[in-house]
Every structure is written in structure tokens, then in C-alpha cells.
């Protein structure tokens, strides 16, 4: 074993000695990156190429990485060419260090991240992986997904849900060499949390907390923008039931922005969809009049009656409706749909949860309200008598 490699291993062990759960995130996945610069933001980094230490990154310095071929990445420090290597690793020298990434090809996208990086060349582009502390990643996710100006308890709810999702989906990109991508396909993660200090507090206060079902499996943390006053049974949306979810009234969201909607459609278009495609019996003396006149007081799965077999979710998709929680009526040549809520209605109602937080409900109370059958656990306590929850892929 040569000295450099030994140094690398010792360095790695020291820098990761304290307990922390890490996760590998494929970042900048919206772009096919050929060239990127890593430059200083806070603290220093040590840079390794194929396990050899090739330099450090400090104030006013930058490393430029370029796709060379399917096996190699060309590395420059400033204007000095350091050669081409198969894998470049940047390791932070102290915790809470962060780094600036600037894409050069395609043109400038600037993002800041915490923790370590690994870069290889594959599929005609650079694959950039942020090997992040799970809690730092979550702070970035909560800001990217939820934005600013929310209540601390609401951010705590988001942190618990995002942590549960991350651990439950950690094999989603296994074949690409990372756990999760940074797009909405997994969870939006556009950078470290930069603008909302409350989010760091929320993540820290809920550190390790996850949602589990009655079999101690990670729960699926479904959410939507607004339930319209009643949450939806999962089987209405996906044909499968989820034991810890049911339908119930939610009065927290009914006076918020997206609680109601209205859409007008041409009578002919409506008729054509229901009669031609779903054989709605328009000439039936009992059922016929309901073609344009349906009153959905409580959420149901089908238009007018289950016997007709017209799923509301099909109507929602066809006419691009905000929700399936609507009633219909006829005005001249138009069908008027008056609806409630926005989204599928299953699980957590975001606008209701935000309102609960404003009314001083705790994150735990909010989660228990929307997911009545789940348990909250701390993975860090389980760690001592359980296997690691996260299977981190071929780390370094």
C-alpha cells in the first residue's frame, strides 16, 4: 500500500468518524454536463484522483473537471493541467464546509452544496455525486421543494416526510451509482439550504425521525396541495389500499387559496367523453339526467354510481382538472364543474398542515392527523439494534 493511499484511508476514517448517515445524490441531473468548476465557498477541500491526493481547494482557487472520454475526467487546477483520471473525489476538511459548483458546458448554472463530491465520466457526460450527510441533504430538499416563509412545525413535518421518502427509495438509482437524483422524480434538491435558517432548525430538531407503518416498514409519505375539506382514499387513486391512510374531513384547509375551483367545458365535449367512451346511459329515464348533473357531497371514486364504471380519476386526467372532488351542472351549452381541492387528496394536505402549524399544532400532531395509523421512530436509536436503514452504494 503506498503512502498516498494510506493517507487517503486514514483521512477518510477521521473525517467520517462521528456518527452520521450519508446519502449519495446524483446532482445537476437536469443537464448533460461536459465541463464543471468546483470553487471555494466555505472551508477547504482535499482533492483525490484515483485515490491519490492531487491538491487542496482553498479561497480563490478552483478545479475544472472536463469529460475526456468514457473512462476519464481531465482535471485542471486553475490553468494547470493535472492529467486525466477515472474518478475524482473532493472531501471536506471540516464539517459544515461547502463548495460552489459552476457548470461551464452547458453554460453557467451555479449551485452551492455541503459535504463531499465524487465525479466520473460515463454515458458521454460527467456523473456528479454529492456524498452528503442525510440531514444536510434534507435541509436542501425542504427548501427546494417547499420554499420559504413557512412555520417551523410545518418544516419539521416536511423534514420527517422527506427523510422517510429518502430512506424508502434509496435504491431508485442503484444502477447509476447513487441513491437518489436531484429532480422531482425523487425529491427536488437544488442546493444546500441557503435562505431559510428555520429549515436547518427543523431538520436538526427532527434528526433521525421517520414514519413507519404497523409492520415497522417505512411508510409512504403521500402528500398533495389541498384536499378540499376531505382527504381521499388511496384506492380511489391507485386501486390499492394503504392501512395507515383513510378518508376524513379536514376543516383546516377549506378557507385557503386552493380549496375551490371552477371549470367550464363544452357540453358536446363532455357528452362525447362520457357517452361515447364510457357508454353513459343518457336515454335511461332514471340515470340519464345525471349526465350533466352530479352532486358529490362526499368524495367518491366514480361518476354518479360505481355501477356505471366511470372513474373520476379518468375524468380528471381527460379534462386536466385540479381534483376529482367536483360536482357538475349544466348552464346553456356549457357543463360547469365546481370542484374542491388540488391534487390527488391522499395523505398530507399541505395547505391544511400549514394552517395547523399556524394554530400551534406540533409536527407530531400534524402527522398523526393526516396519517392516523403511522408510528414515528428515530432511526438513530434503532441503529444500535437494527441494520443500517440506508444501503449506501459502493462508497468510494
Nearer to Zn ion, 124 or 185 (CB): 185
Nearer to Zn ion, 309 or 373 (CB): 373
Query: Quick one: which of 46, 352, 377, 389 contacts Zn ion (CB under 5 A)?
Result: 352
Nearer to Zn ion, 211 or 227 (CB): 227
Q: How many residues in the shown chain lie near Zn ion by CB under 5 A?
A: 8
C-beta separation of 275 from 291 below 8 A: yes
Write the CA distances from 186 to 16, 100, 145, 292, integer angstroms.
Answer: 26, 23, 11, 39
- Nearest approach in angstroms of CB 253 to Zn ion is 3
Q: How many CB atoms lie within 10 A of CB 360?
A: 9
Q: How many CB atoms lie within 10 A of CB 175?
A: 8
- Nearest approach in angstroms of CB 46 to Zn ion is 29
Nearer to Zn ion, 311 or 352 (CB): 352
Q: How many CB atoms lie within 10 A of CB 208?
A: 18
Nearer to Zn ion, 74 or 190 (CB): 190
- Nearest approach in angstroms of CB 181 to Zn ion is 3
- Nearest approach in angstroms of CB 23 to Zn ion is 13
- Return the sign of the alpha-carbon dihedral for residues 114, 183, 185, 151: positive
Cell numbers for 181: 437524483
How far, in Å, CA of 82 to CA of 67, rounded?
A: 14
- Nearest approach in angstroms of CB 349 to Zn ion is 3
Nearer to Zn ion, 111 or 355 (CB): 355
How far, in Å, CA of 182 to CA of 33, rounded?
A: 14
Instruction: Pick the piece of the chain touching Zn ion (CB under 5 A) from 130-138, 157-165, 296-304, 351-359.
Output: 351-359
Query: Quick one: which of 161, 349, 357, 379 contacts Zn ion (CB under 5 A)?
Result: 349
Nearest to 339 by CA among 230, 224, 223: 230
- Nearest approach in angstroms of CB 175 to Zn ion is 12
Query: Quick one: which of 36, 219, 227, 315 contacts Zn ion (CB under 5 A)?
Result: 227
Count the residues in the chain: 396
**Site residues for Zn ion, window 184-223 (CB under 5 A)?**
185-186
Q: Does 124 bind Zn ion (CB under 5 A)?
A: no
C-beta separation of 156 from 202 below 8 A: yes
Cell numbers for 2: 503506498
Provide the 3-class DSSP secondary structure of residue 48.
strand
Nearer to Zn ion, 20 or 169 (CB): 169
**Site residues for Zn ion, window 244-273 (CB under 5 A)?**
250, 253
Nearer to Zn ion, 66 or 247 (CB): 247
- Nearest approach in angstroms of CB 186 to Zn ion is 3
Query: Quick one: which of 181, 219, 366, 367 contacts Zn ion (CB under 5 A)?
Result: 181
Nearest to 318 by CA among 332, 300, 337: 337
Distance of CA 27 to the CA centre of its chain: 13
DSSP 230: B
How far, in Å, CA of 278 to CA of 64, rounded?
A: 59
Binding mask 25-64 for Zn ion (x = CB under 5 A): ----------------------------------------
Torsion from C-alpha of 125, 113, 183, 396, nearest 10 degrees: 60
Give the interface with Zn ion as residue ranges (CB under 5 A).
181, 185-186, 227, 250, 253, 349, 352
Amino acid at each position: 500500500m503506498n503512502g498516498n493511499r494510506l493517507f487517503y484511508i486514514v483521512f477518510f476514517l477521521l473525517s467520517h468518524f462521528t456518527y452520521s448517515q450519508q446519502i449519495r445524490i446524483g446532482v445537476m441531473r437536469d443537464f448533460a454536463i461536459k465541463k464543471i468548476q468546483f470553487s471555494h465557498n466555505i472551508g477547504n477541500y482535499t482533492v483525490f484522483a484515483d485515490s491519490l491526493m492531487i491538491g487542496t481547494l482553498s479561497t480563490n482557487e478552483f478545479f475544472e473537471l472536463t469529460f475526456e472520454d468514457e473512462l476519464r475526467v481531465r482535471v485542471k487546477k486553475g490553468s494547470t493541467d493535472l492529467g486525466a483520471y477515472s474518478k475524482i473525489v473532493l472531501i471536506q476538511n471540516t464539517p459544515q464546509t461547502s463548495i460552489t459548483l459552476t457548470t461551464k458546458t452547458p453554460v453557467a448554472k451555479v449551485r452551492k452544496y455541503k459535504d463531499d463530491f465524487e465525479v466520473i465520466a460515463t454515458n458521454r457526460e460527467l456523473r456528479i455525486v454529492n456524498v452528503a450527510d442525510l440531514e444536510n441533504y434534507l435541509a436542501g430538499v425542504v427548501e427546494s421543494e417547499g420554499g420559504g416563509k413557512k412555520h417551523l412545525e410545518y418544516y419539521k413535518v416536511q423534514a420527517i416526510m422527506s427523510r422517510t421518502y429518502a430512506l424508502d427509495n434509496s435504491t431508485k438509482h442503484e444502477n447509476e451509482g447513487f441513491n437518489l437524483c436531484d429532480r422531482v422524480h425523487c425529491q427536488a434538491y437544488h442546493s444546500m439550504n441557503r435562505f431559510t435558517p428555520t429549515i436547518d432548525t427543523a431538520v436538526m430538531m427532527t434528526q433521525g425521525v421517520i414514519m413507519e407503518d404497523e409492520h415497522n416498514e417505512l411508510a409512504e409519505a403521500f402528500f398533495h396541495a389541498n384536499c378540499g375539506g376531505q382527504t381521499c382514499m388511496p384506492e380511489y387513486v391507485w386501486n390499492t389500499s394503504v392501512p395507515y391512510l383513510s378518508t376524513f374531513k379536514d376543516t383546516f384547509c377549506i378557507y385557503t387559496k386552493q380549496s375551490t375551483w371552477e371549470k367550464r367545458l363544452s357540453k358536446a365535449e363532455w357528452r362525447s367523453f362520457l357517452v361515447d367512451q364510457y357508454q353513459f346511459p343518457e336515454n335511461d329515464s332514471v340515470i340519464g339526467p345525471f349526465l350533466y348533473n352530479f352532486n358529490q357531497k362526499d368524495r367518491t371514486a366514480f361518476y354518479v354510481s360505481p355501477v356505471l364504471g366511470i372513474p373520476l380519476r379518468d375524468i380528471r386526467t381527460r379534462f386536466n382538472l385540479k381534483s376529482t372532488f367536483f360536482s357538475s351542472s349544466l348552464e346553456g351549452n356549457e357543463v360547469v364543474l365546481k370542484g374542491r381541492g388540488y391534487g390527488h387528496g391522499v395523505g398530507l394536505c399541505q395547505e391544511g398542515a400549514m394552517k395547523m402549524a399556524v394554530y400551534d399544532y406540533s409536527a407530531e400532531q400534524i402527522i398523526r392527523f393526516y396519517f392516523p395509523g403511522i408510528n414515528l421512530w428515530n432511526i438513530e436509536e434503532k441503529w444500535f439494534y437494527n441494520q443500517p436503514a440506508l444501503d449506501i452504494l459502493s462508497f468510494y
